[in-house]
């Protein structure tokens, strides 16, 4: 087969596609006129973890070829090309006293990719996800170019629509005003899950940003111990002398190269347990008002270039779930199950989301989101995550499509109940099914999947190792 081999950030499941450099909107429009069986898809910087930016046997438009462009008006409305990265936007906005309304854990995502995933940051409980701040989108669909505002159904089908409604070529984003490029951070180290949830529930609303780094390998009395950090943009008066002289300076360090590969067996339960212990201990028990740079607080992983290669040849996956408020028991049982199964997962991320938006497939909604990176390899991983997915569905939750590489299609409609409505809106813009992706085919997003069993069934619990907790389905609630 011709074309280039592509993977997501997790470096699993490579597939080949013909790459077309989207040098200008006319190239995009021309590519969408084709009716080849395998279709067309936009790709940004490939930071989606799974197969969302892959299109096996079809065409992939590389949107970075459009080039970055940013203009900012006096009200802080930025007009950006879809190829502009969050990094580009921060660099253009900060010197003028503006900041991005939402940033993910890396600056290396394009605006096109950010819209397609309706990305969230550490401020979802206050500011919502990205699309709450997008005023206008220019989208090229297979039926022609469209200018969309929040009053259009197609705007909301594109928000979190994983590139399947067309190709975003530009967007207008409302920035937020800041007076410095620093944040003032409060840190609390919690002893267990109850304390973690209590600290975050009681205090989050007093901070714009909040996140918990949760140790998903500790068990017993330490189950769910975390480092909770919460922050607000710092005022000039909070900065130390030399920083106050240039309060909007933004000069992140050049990333250090990651080791090209991890020696076989390095990422095992013992080494990751030791890493999690060290990570937990190095955090202050309680600290108030520590001044940190934007890179330190929002994008620590950007300091290591190509860190995703450190997981070795087999790659890794990220499992990110939403568990609605009121189902904290399920969250606890999931964390117990992960810890007792001894699945090697690095320190995970826990956030408290605020209300969702009108995006049919937008991921965030009121509840807790937990995200865990895990190296692919251990045989227990697939059955364990299948089992946990069912617990997520039973609690009314879902998994984040921008991170997914392995969800079973039978669960998708239960997780995203507005999928049929999304399909109708999408079909008006793409009646002949030109837009397509590996993710869409795997999950039956476009046409629906005909499951062998009409309803998701509770699967029997996988055999558990001695001393491990029984499967979630067998646990009393
Ligand atoms: C270290 C790390 C941390 C992250 N942290 C967060 C986080 O905190 N919050 C969060 O929400 N996400 C997070 N993500 C996920 C990331 O924000 C999303 O996957 C985002 O979509 C990646 O953007 P990209 O430019 O790399 O797009 P790609 O990965 O290339 O593509 C992702 C999707 O966007 C579509 N797409 C890309 N460009 C366009 C376009 N111009 N028009 C239409 N569709 C398009 C693709 O078809 C695909 O479906 C993180 C990822 C990494 C690697």
Burial track 395-424 (b if 16+ CB lie within 10 A, e otherwise): bbbbbbbbbbbbbbebbbbbbbebbeebbe
Using the 3D structure, point to which of 121, 153, 178 is the last residue of a domain: 178
Using the 3D structure, point to which of 152, 178, 204 is the last residue of a domain: 178
CB 371 within 8 A of CB 348: yes
Judge whether 442 lies within some domain. Answer: no
Count CB-CB contacts under 10 A for residue 241: 6
Q: Whose alpha carbon is nearest atom 3 of ligand 1?
A: 105
Judge whether 111 lies within some domain. Answer: yes
Q: Are residues 142 and 198 in the same domain?
A: no
Q: Is 80 in the pocket of ligand 1 (CB under 6 A)?
A: no
Q: Are residues 8 and 87 in the same domain?
A: no
Judge whether 435 lies within some domain. Answer: no
Cα–Cα distance for residue pair 438/60, rounded to 1 Å: 11
**For the whole prediction, is pTM greater than 0.75?**
yes
Rounded alpha-carbon distances, angstroms, from residue 279 to 112, 165, 215, 274, 339: 34, 42, 9, 9, 17
Q: Is 46 in the pocket of ligand 1 (CB under 6 A)?
A: yes
At 200 the three-state DSSP class reads: helix
Q: Are residues 75 and 60 in the same domain?
A: no
Q: Are residues 11 and 101 in the same domain?
A: no
Q: Are residues 85 and 19 in the same domain?
A: no
Both tokens assigned to 182? 């620093």
Q: Are residues 46 and 82 in the same domain?
A: no
Using the 3D structure, point to which of 149, 178, 207 is the last residue of a domain: 178
**CATH number of residue 204's parent domain:** 3.30.70.2520
Structure-token match 């497939």, residue found: 361
Judge whether 92 lies within some domain. Answer: yes
Q: Under the phi-then-psi rule, with left for phi > 0, alpha for psi from -120 to 50, and beta for the rest, what region is 166?
A: left
The CA 120 to ligand 1 mean position distance, Å, reads 11
Q: What is the pLDDT of residue 475?
A: 30
Judge whether 328 lies within some domain. Answer: yes
Q: Where are the beta strands (DSSP E) in 149-195?
A: 167-174, 176-177, 182-190
At 416 the three-state DSSP class reads: coil
Q: Is 402 in the pocket of ligand 1 (CB under 6 A)?
A: yes
Question: Could you list the residue range(s) of the whole structural domain that residue 54 is in?
Answer: 4-64
Judge whether 74 lies within some domain. Answer: yes
- Which mutation among 27, 48, 154 tests ligand 1's pocket best, with the greatest number of atoms within 8 A of CB? 48
In 3D space, the residue among 105, 64, 100 whose CA is nearest the CA of residue 83 turns out to be 64
Q: Are residues 345 and 240 in the same domain?
A: yes
Q: Whose alpha carbon is nearest atom 48 of ligand 1?
A: 53
**CATH number of residue 112's parent domain:** 3.30.465.10
Q: Are residues 140 and 260 in the same domain?
A: no
Burial track 147-183 (b if 16+ CB lie within 10 A, e otherwise): ebeeebbbbbbbbbbbbbbbbbbbbbbebbebebbbb
The CA 116 to ligand 1 mean position distance, Å, reads 7
Q: What is the pLDDT of residue 465?
A: 34
Q: Are residues 321 and 408 in the same domain?
A: yes
Tell me how many domains the chain contains.
3
Judge whether 472 lies within some domain. Answer: no
Q: Is 168 in the pocket of ligand 1 (CB under 6 A)?
A: yes
Q: Is 47 in the pocket of ligand 1 (CB under 6 A)?
A: yes
Q: Are residues 107 and 56 in the same domain?
A: no
Both tokens assigned to 20? 């077309």
Q: Are residues 144 and 202 in the same domain?
A: no
Q: Whose alpha carbon is nearest atom 52 of ligand 1?
A: 47
268-378-302 Cα angle (round to 5): 60
Tens-binned pLDDT, residue by residue, of the chain (477 aa): 469 999 999 999 999 999 999 999 999 999 999 777 899 999 999 999 999 999 999 999 999 999 999 999 999 999 999 999 999 999 999 999 999 999 999 999 999 999 999 999 999 999 999 999 999 999 999 999 999 999 999 999 999 999 999 999 999 999 999 999 999 999 999 999 999 999 999 989 999 999 999 999 999 999 999 999 999 999 999 999 888 999 999 988 877 776 665 555 567 788 888 888 999 999 999 999 999 999 999 999 898 888 888 777 889 999 999 999 999 999 999 999 999 998 878 779 999 999 999 999 999 999 999 999 998 888 889 999 999 999 999 999 999 999 999 999 999 999 999 999 999 999 999 999 999 999 999 999 998 654 444 444 444 333 333 333 333 333 322
Q: Are residues 303 and 394 in the same domain?
A: yes
Cα–Cα distance for residue pair 371/353, rounded to 1 Å: 13
Angle between helices 193-203 and 328-341 in degrees, nearest 10: 140
Q: Is 104 in the pocket of ligand 1 (CB under 6 A)?
A: yes
């Amino acid at each position: 087969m011709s074309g280039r081999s592509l993977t997501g950030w997790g470096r699993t499941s490579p597939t080949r596609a013909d790459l077309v450099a989207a040098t200008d909107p006319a190239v995009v429009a021309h590519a969408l006129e084709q009716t080849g069986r395998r279709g067309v898809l936009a790709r940004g910087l490939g930071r989606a973890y799974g197969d969302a930016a892959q299109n096996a046997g079809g065409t992939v438009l590389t949107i970075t070829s459009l080039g970055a462009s940013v203009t900012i008006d006096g009200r802080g409305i930025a007009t950006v090309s879809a190829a502009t990265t969050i990094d580009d936007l921060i660099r253009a906005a900060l010197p003028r006293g503006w900041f991005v309304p939402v940033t993910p854990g890396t600056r290396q995502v394009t605006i096109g990719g950010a819209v397609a995933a309706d990305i969230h940051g550490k401020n979802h409980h206050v500011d919502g996800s990205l699309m709450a701040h997008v005023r206008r989108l220019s989208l090229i669909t297979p039926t022609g170019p469209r200018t969309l505002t929040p009053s259009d159904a197609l705007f909301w089908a594109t928000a979190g629509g994983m590139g399947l409604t067309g190709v975003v070529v530009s967007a207008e984003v409302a920035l937020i005003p800041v007076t410095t490029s620093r944040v003032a951070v409060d840190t609390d180290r919690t002893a267990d899950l109850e304390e973690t949830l209590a600290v975050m529930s009681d205090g989050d609303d007093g901070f714009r940003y909040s996140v918990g780094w949760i140790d998903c390998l500790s068990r017993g009395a330490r189950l769910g111990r975390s480092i909770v950090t919460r922050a607000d943009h710092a005022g000039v008066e909070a900065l130390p002398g030399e920083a106050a002289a240039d309060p909007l300076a933004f000069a992140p360090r050049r990333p250090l190269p990651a080791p090209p590969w991890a020696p076989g067996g390095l990422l095992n339960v013992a080494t990751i347990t030791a890493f999690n212990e060290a990570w937990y201990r190095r955090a202050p028990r309680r600290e108030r008002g520590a001044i940190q740079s934007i890179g330190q607080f929002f994008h620590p992983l950007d300091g290591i270039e190509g860190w995703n290669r450190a997981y070795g040849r087999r790659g890794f996956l990220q499992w990110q779930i939403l568990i609605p408020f009121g189902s904290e028991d399920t969250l606890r049982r999931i964390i117990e199950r992960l810890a007792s199964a001894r699945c090697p997962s690095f320190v995970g991320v826990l956030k408290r989301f605020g209300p969702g938006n009108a995006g049919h497939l937008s991921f965030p909604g009121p509840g807790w989101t937990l995200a865990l990176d895990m190296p692919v390899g251990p045989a227990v991983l697939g059955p364990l995550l299948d089992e946990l997915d069912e617990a997520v569905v039973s609690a009314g939750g879902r998994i984040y499509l921008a991170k997914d590489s392995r969800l079973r299609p039978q669960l998708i409609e239960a997780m995203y109940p507005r999928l049929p409505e999304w399909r109708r809106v999408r079909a008006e813009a793409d009646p002949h099914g030109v837009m397509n992706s590996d993710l869409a085919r795997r999950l039956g997003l476009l046409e629906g999947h005909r499951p062998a069993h009409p309803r998701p069934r509770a699967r029997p619990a996988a055999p558990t190792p001695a001393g491990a907790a029984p499967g979630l389905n067998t646990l009393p609630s």
